[in-house]
Amino acid sequence: MENALIALKKYFGYDSFRPMQSEIIQSVYDGKDTIVLMPTGGGKSICFQIPALTLPGLTVVISPLIALMKDQVEGLVANGVPAAFINSSSDSRTVTKTEDDAVDGLLKILYVSPEKMVTQSFQTFLKRLKISLFAIDEAHCISAWGHDFRPEYTQLKILKMQYPNVPMMALTATADKLTRKDMLTQLSMQNPAVFISSFDRPNITLTVKPGQKRYEQIYDFLRKHPNQSGIIYCLSRRSCEELSNKLNEKGFKTEYYHAELPPPRRSKVQEDFINDRVPVICATIAFGMGIDKSNVRFVIHYNLPRNVEGYYQEIGRAGRDGLPSEALLFFSYADVMTYRDMINDSEGDIVQKELKIAKLNRMYEFAEAPVCRRKTVLAYFDEAYDQNCGNCDVCKNPPRYFEGTLAAQKALSAIKRTNEKIGMNMLVNILRGSRNREILDNKYDQIKTYGIGKEYSFDDWLYFIMQMLHTGLIEIAYDDNHRLRVTPVGEDVLFTGKKVQLAMPITPVNKEEKKKAAIAEVKPVGKVQGLRDELFERLRVLRRDIAQQSGIPPYQVFSDATLSEMCEKRPLADTDLLMVSGVGEKKLQQFGAAFIAEIRRFVLEKEDDGVKVSGSTFLMTYALYKKGVTLEQIAVQRNISPTTVLGHLCNMYERGEDLDLSPWISPEELDIIKGSLSLFEEPYIMKDIFEHFYQKYTFEKIRWAIADARRRP
């Protein structure tokens, strides 16, 4: 495990493993077959990449999608890991070269598509290698139950027969119970070690809102999240296009994506998204599979997803880097009706349809129930979560209930008086006394309940009716134009006065409250945060430029999490930068100088503007010294003591700056003093060293020798 930790730091720049990663890696070291169930962003890749790097031989990774493979290999190469892929997009020369490299031991990780894996030629090639591990990524593709079934995956069983002694690892983020179970059977591993981590994604804020005025709500959201990457999922091809066009007209940069676009166009949109050229994509669910972009900051569902599995998979594309991210879902009953009709009209047997409808209902219940979202969703996946999360709309804004019996009675009575012939919208129109054509034609304006509910808005009424539906006061005749019917429980409310509690509408009702909420939302940005944001923006631009030059996506240069930590710590030298999580040796070497230079520029500019930034004082002194100003002059100019000036220079030297030490200390003296340091302990007490040499060397010389000893080789 010690080697595993060293490799983690060296290649990936991380200091420690996440929960379960080390146990999983140990399991491979023990030669066991291993199954890894972890949510997206949980850190699955490290689980096979670290064994690959630390075990003798080659790790073969089976991965279903070309885009995914390319992305992973690019990321690994950027970290200095010898990795390559072979799939249908590779030409024969590349394949030969890759195979030769593998045989020559120049590769540690080889990604391959399942189709390629099972070919005779590839199997022959494999025989020439020492294989450390087979990793099957997206292993749920083996199940015909899942939505991503890949028939070729089922043939992977032969690996276990041909290589009984090579450990195998299967990984997936699927939370769907049926698929998981089937996957385990299909893989037919011997006594595998199974690791299931929590499927909670605590960094994603879950919000559900009624779907009225979605456009406005989305404008508002995008305005509050400038420059951030996100996906807006829409139900239909048309709504993707419409939404994208509308947003563009409003000045937001978006593109649309759906399965009917020609393939070149689709890849262009995807590339533009990955490379941060277009921040927001309006897409059908065809978009996202095979995208590993770690800095997706939000996922919006313009329509209700068809089931909780889909919802969770889609929002899982946000925040892989672990930074705060948003999942915003709009729902309306109209979506439910549309899907229900689609399911009923579709081909397929009745059992399948019923299953789909049951899942749709669960999705709707999730959106509708005023219970902590995370609790509900995790319960759906059989995971106990017994607190309230504090990071969803319900937790942040718990519903307030009121005595709603009278309101419920008004609605129930209106349904009865129209002989249960009306749907939801008509019911609200009757209650609110609308004079639309249909009402007049049907003489609904003459019934007793007409216009008795004007005190609530249209949206409020919908919200109440939804709750009545949920608590079983009414039901919907799906097979009969979605007419509303009063249930026996509803009759109790209507005729015997059974009490009903209703939740107040989520959106503030009156202007006063709206204003208050708006003010509460605009949090003043503190000075420290302001500086960080400003630097982040500059580093983001730098990252984009570097990415463009190096031909890799920006998040492969450094993740948002790494940039964010840079803004917090403001590393001014290599040694500082290496302490930032996500900076490994290769990236330090490739990109370090550019980032440090930018951070230094930022710090100095701030100083010029009179803003105190920590770390700047060393840099100021150093900059003056580099310009040729003498130490004495620097001390006067900066109003600090000459000793402090010297201390600053030593500090910069320690951090790796190149300085000519000859004005202060000779190489021989340096060697002698450094040679004595092993007799002392950090933090060194200069006086002790001074006395050790019978006061022969000045404090200044001793300070330089210490700096030289601390300096990174």
Residues contributing to the site for Zn ion (CB under 5 A) = 372, 374, 389, 392, 395
Per-residue binding letters, 451-490, with ligand ADP (x by CB under 6 A): ----------------------------------------
CB of residue 372 vs Zn ion: minimum separation in angstroms?
Answer: 3
Pick between residue 373 and residue 587 the one whose CB is nearest to ligand ADP: 587
CB of residue 565 vs ligand ADP: minimum separation in angstroms?
Answer: 11
Please select the residue that binds ligand ADP; options are 9, 10, 18, 237, rule is CB under 6 A.
Answer: 18
Render 435-499 in DSSP notation, one character per residue.
Answer: --HHHHHTTGGGSTTTTTTTTS-HHHHHHHHHHHHHTTSEEEETTTTTEEEE-HHHHHHHHH---
Look-up of token digits 């002989």? 419
Exposure string of 31-51, with b = 16+ CB inside 10 Å and e = fewer, is ebbbbbbbbbbbbbbbbbbbb
The residue range among 12-20, 148-156, 599-607, 677-685 that interacts with ligand ADP, by the rule CB under 6 A, is 12-20
Closest CA to 252 of 225, 275, 270, 272: 225
Exposure string of 97-121, with b = 16+ CB inside 10 Å and e = fewer, is ebbeebeeeebbbbbbbbbbbbeee
DSSP letter for 678, please: G
Q: Residue 389 touches which of ligand ADP, Zn ion, none (CB < 5 to 8 A by kind)?
A: Zn ion
- Decide: is 42 part of the binding site for ligand ADP (CB under 6 A): yes
The Cβ-side half-sphere exposure at 658, using a 13 Å CA radius, reads 0
SS (H, E, C) 534-558: HHHHHHHHHHHHHHHHHCCCHHHHC
Find how far residue 386's CA is from the centre of its chain.
Answer: 24
The residue range among 13-21, 117-125, 296-304, 463-471 that interacts with ligand ADP, by the rule CB under 6 A, is 13-21
Q: Residue 46 touches which of Zn ion, ligand ADP, none (CB < 5 to 8 A by kind)?
A: ligand ADP
Residue 305 corresponds to which tokens in the numbers above? 């997803």
Cβ of 497: how many Cβ atoms within 10 Å?
A: 10
Residue 595 corresponds to which tokens in the numbers above? 């980032």
- Decide: is 41 part of the binding site for ligand ADP (CB under 6 A): yes
Please select the residue that binds ligand ADP; options are 20, 25, 37, 46, rule is CB under 6 A.
Answer: 46
Q: Residue 219 touches which of ligand ADP, Zn ion, none (CB < 5 to 8 A by kind)?
A: none
Please select the residue that binds ligand ADP; options are 4, 34, 44, 73, rule is CB under 6 A.
Answer: 44
Pick between residue 101 and residue 200 the one whose CB is nearest to Zn ion: 200
CB of residue 38 vs ligand ADP: minimum separation in angstroms?
Answer: 5
The residue range among 33-41, 435-443, 455-463, 536-544 that interacts with ligand ADP, by the rule CB under 6 A, is 33-41
CB of residue 294 vs ligand ADP: minimum separation in angstroms?
Answer: 5
CB of residue 318 vs ligand ADP: minimum separation in angstroms?
Answer: 12
What are the C-alpha distances in Å from 362 to residues 224, 233, 267, 287? 31, 19, 34, 24
The answer to whether 301 and 206 are in contact (CB under 8 A) is: no
Q: Rounded to whole angstroms, how far apart are CA atoms 547 and 541?
A: 10
Please select the residue that binds ligand ADP; options are 10, 29, 32, 45, rule is CB under 6 A.
Answer: 45
DSSP letter for 10, please: I
- E runs forming strands in 258-304: 280-283, 296-301
Per-residue binding letters, 285-324, with ligand ADP (x by CB under 6 A): ---------x-------------------------xx---
Find how far residue 326's CA is from the centre of its chain.
Answer: 9
Q: Residue 45 touches which of ligand ADP, Zn ion, none (CB < 5 to 8 A by kind)?
A: ligand ADP
Please select the residue that binds ligand ADP; options are 27, 34, 40, 207, rule is CB under 6 A.
Answer: 40
How do beta strands 34-37 and 168-172 pair? parallel
Strand order of the β-sheet with 168-172 is 83-86, 109-112, 58-62, 131-136, 168-172, 34-37, 193-196
In DSSP terms, which residues pair with 329 in a beta bridge? 208, 301
Q: Residue 13 touches which of ligand ADP, Zn ion, none (CB < 5 to 8 A by kind)?
A: none
Q: Residue 255 touches which of ligand ADP, Zn ion, none (CB < 5 to 8 A by kind)?
A: none
CB of residue 395 vs Zn ion: minimum separation in angstroms?
Answer: 3
CB of residue 323 vs ligand ADP: minimum separation in angstroms?
Answer: 10
- Decide: is 559 part of the binding site for ligand ADP (CB under 6 A): yes
- Decide: is 38 part of the binding site for ligand ADP (CB under 6 A): yes
- Decide: is 507 part of the binding site for ligand ADP (CB under 6 A): no
Pick between residue 321 and residue 708 the one whose CB is nearest to ligand ADP: 321
- What does the binding site for ligand ADP look like in residue numbers (CB under 6 A)? 14, 17-18, 21, 38, 40-46, 294, 320-321, 559, 581
